[in-house]
Amino acid sequence: MTTDGLGLVAARPLLDGSLDVTFRLQPGDRPLVAAGESVVAGTPIAERLRDPRLTELAIPAGSLPAVGRRVAEGELLFEWRGRWRVATGDLTEPIETPVAGIVRDVRPGSAIVISASGRSMHGIVALGGPTHGRLRLVGGGDYDIRAGSLDVSMAGAILVVGSRLDAETLTRARAMGVRGIIVAGLASKERRDFGGSERRQRAALHRLPPFAVLVLEGALRRPLAGPLMDVVAALVGQEVAIVQDPPALVFDTPGVDVPRPSPDRVRVRSGSLVGQEGTWLGPLGPRRFSGGVHLEAGSVRFTDGHTLAIPIGDLERFT
């Protein structure tokens, strides 16, 4: 192992410690917790209005209620020409926390912040709603799951599916009771289709349990990074959570030994070899690459035994 020049390679944190998770509130939502309270996964932390609407309320002379105060008609939003606009609605549904922790802040109409216990693995984006379930690995890091691969035994689980999946698979997974999916890449079209499905689900009379998609890499199809696969493989069968703000996988498993990557392990993050991993051998100085450009390069020995000069800007390492 050599670390000579390894500091030139961009570092990407593999795991983080305690995470402050933000749950956004809409006008009319009613918080059910207060700052300083302890919560466990599945605890209702707020009530959400399913069909919020604005009404007007006359305020008696001399009364100066505060913005955000709750009255019988709903939540006071703002005053306009002697009358208050009130957010109200007929139906409510609970917002549950998928993580255990301590409530750090409650801002009615804005957000609830919970300091989650355990560790976290950050992603690029998380779609859907906060959810939790037992982690299950489907295929490998370069496996493309299809709708026909899903079965009822996956209900209640969070699936790690590898490189990429399509909108049909997402729809079927949710309908079958899957609680979440972790994937390396999700294209823009699939993200838009999933957003439309989410809006239709919110308008439905009978809603399905919360469902989320955590994207770890971006939009392009590429294998799930080896260090990320090592983490999720160690967590198979454990209770984990997907949160949206920030997008992350959260887990509190003191008895599980999560492997750390070798310091000299690097990964190609762009270029023709994107997704390939190898061992850092050291810096090479300026080298000429396609197009006649000269870039600072490093020597990398890949898993197939080949050693190549790779632009340092195309590499990343996990720490």
Looking at per-residue confidence, does 258 or 73 come out higher?
Answer: 258
- Give domain status of residue 269, yes or no: yes
Among residues 229, 251, 273, the one where a domain terminates is 251
Q: Where are the alpha helices (DSSP H) in 132-267?
A: 167-175, 188-203, 226-234
Cα separation, 299 vs 309, in Å, equals 5
Question: What proportion of the chain, given as a percentage, has pLDDT over 70?
Answer: 91
Cα separation, 161 vs 186, in Å, equals 11
**Model pLDDT, residue 85:** 85
For residues 234 and 271, state if they share a domain: no
Cα separation, 160 vs 224, in Å, equals 10
pTM of structure: 0.86
Q: Check pLDDT > 80 for residue 297.
A: yes
For residues 244 and 178, state if they share a domain: yes
For residues 139 and 246, state if they share a domain: yes
- Give domain status of residue 63, yes or no: yes
Mean pLDDT, to the nearest integer, of 58-68? 65
Q: What is the pLDDT of residues 142-196, one digit of tens each?
A: 556 776 778 888 999 999 987 778 888 888 888 889 999 999 888 888 888 888 8
Q: Check pLDDT > 90 for residue 49.
A: no
- Give domain status of residue 17, yes or no: no
- Residue 300 forms beta bridges with which residues? 280, 308
For residues 171 and 67, state if they share a domain: no
- Give domain status of residue 291, yes or no: yes
Cα separation, 98 vs 291, in Å, equals 50
**Model pLDDT, residue 87:** 87
**Model pLDDT, residue 163:** 73
State the residue range of the domain holding 43. 24-96+104-111
Q: Where are the alpha helices (DSSP H) in the chain?
A: 167-175, 188-203, 226-234
- Give domain status of residue 286, yes or no: yes
Domain count along the chain:
3
For residues 128 and 243, state if they share a domain: yes
Q: Which residues contact 87 (CB under 8 A, 6 or more apart)?
A: 26, 27, 28, 49, 52, 53, 54, 74, 75, 77, 109
For residues 214 and 124, state if they share a domain: yes
State the CATH number of the domain containing residue 291.
Answer: 2.30.30.30
Cα separation, 166 vs 187, in Å, equals 8
Among residues 200, 223, 251, the one where a domain terminates is 251
- Average pLDDT over the chain, rounded to whole? 87
Cα separation, 216 vs 122, in Å, equals 7
Mean pLDDT, to the nearest integer, of 132-137? 95
- Residue 75 forms beta bridges with which residues? 70, 87
Among residues 223, 251, 279, the one where a domain terminates is 251
For residues 270 and 244, state if they share a domain: no
**Model pLDDT, residue 217:** 87
For residues 278 and 305, state if they share a domain: yes
| 16 Cα distance to chain centroid | 13
For residues 124 and 190, state if they share a domain: yes
Only one residue has tokens 């939502």, namely: 29
Cα separation, 173 vs 170, in Å, equals 5
Q: What is the pLDDT of residues 183-233, one digit of tens each?
A: 988 888 888 888 887 777 766 666 678 899 999 988 777 788 999 999 999
For residues 123 and 243, state if they share a domain: yes
Split at pLDDT 50, 70, 90, the class of 61 is low
8-state DSSP, 317 = E
- Give domain status of residue 267, yes or no: yes
Q: What is the pLDDT of residues 237-285, one digit of tens each?
A: 999 999 999 999 999 998 888 888 899 999 999 888 988 999 999 999 9
**Model pLDDT, residue 40:** 96
Looking at per-residue confidence, does 208 or 4 come out higher?
Answer: 4
Distances in Å between the alpha carbon of 139 and those of 89, 152, 167, 172, 274?
45, 17, 19, 18, 20
For residues 193 and 216, state if they share a domain: yes
Q: Check pLDDT > 60 for residue 62.
A: no
Q: Check pLDDT > 70 for residue 64.
A: no
State the CATH number of the domain containing residue 189.
Answer: 3.50.30
- Give domain status of residue 231, yes or no: yes
Split at pLDDT 50, 70, 90, the class of 111 is very high
For residues 163 and 244, state if they share a domain: yes
Two structure tokens written together for 200 = 């239709």
Cα separation, 319 vs 312, in Å, equals 17
Split at pLDDT 50, 70, 90, the class of 139 is low
**Model pLDDT, residue 203:** 66
- Give domain status of residue 39, yes or no: yes
